[in-house]
Amino acid sequence: MTVRKLNQEERDTWTSALDGWDMADGRDAIEKTFEFGDFVEAWGFMSRVAILAEKADHHPEWFNVYNRVEITLTTHDADPDNGGALSKRDVELANAIDALG
């Protein structure tokens, strides 16, 4: 299934409504860093995100060290030649991650 990249209006309204997600440097992607008390807490969060991602069939690029988790979201299929582009799927996954609480 081809996924359409966000148009300018969607981009302005949807991404700016996200809590703490910023545009990634030099990419059409959003990113957010999460910090926890320790590795076990960070891992618990990642496990919940992993299940959300697999259910949505939309997977993050993410980095973890100890209590820190950096998540980057973009949609490869929306612009495969340029490492992806933002689509509705990214906004939905970002909101689902933030709703984990």
**60 contacts a second copy (rule: CB under 8 A):** yes
Which residue in 91, 100, 101 sits closest to 49, CA to CA? Answer: 100
Cβ 33 to a second copy, closest distance in Å?
14
Q: Residue 98 is inside which H or E element, if any?
A: helix 88-98
Buried/exposed code over 46-56 (b: 16+ C-beta within 10 A; e: otherwise): beebeebbeee
| Token pair belonging to 35 | 């910090």
Shorter beta-carbon distance to a second copy: residue 10 or 70: 70
Shorter beta-carbon distance to a second copy: residue 14 or 43: 43
Three-state SS sequence of 31-43: EEEEECCCHHHHH
Shorter beta-carbon distance to a second copy: residue 17 or 66: 66
**1 contacts a second copy (rule: CB under 8 A):** no
Q: Which of residues 8-27 bind a second copy (CB under 8 A)?
A: none
> Applying CB under 8 A, which residues contact a second copy?
39-40, 43, 47, 50, 53-54, 59-66
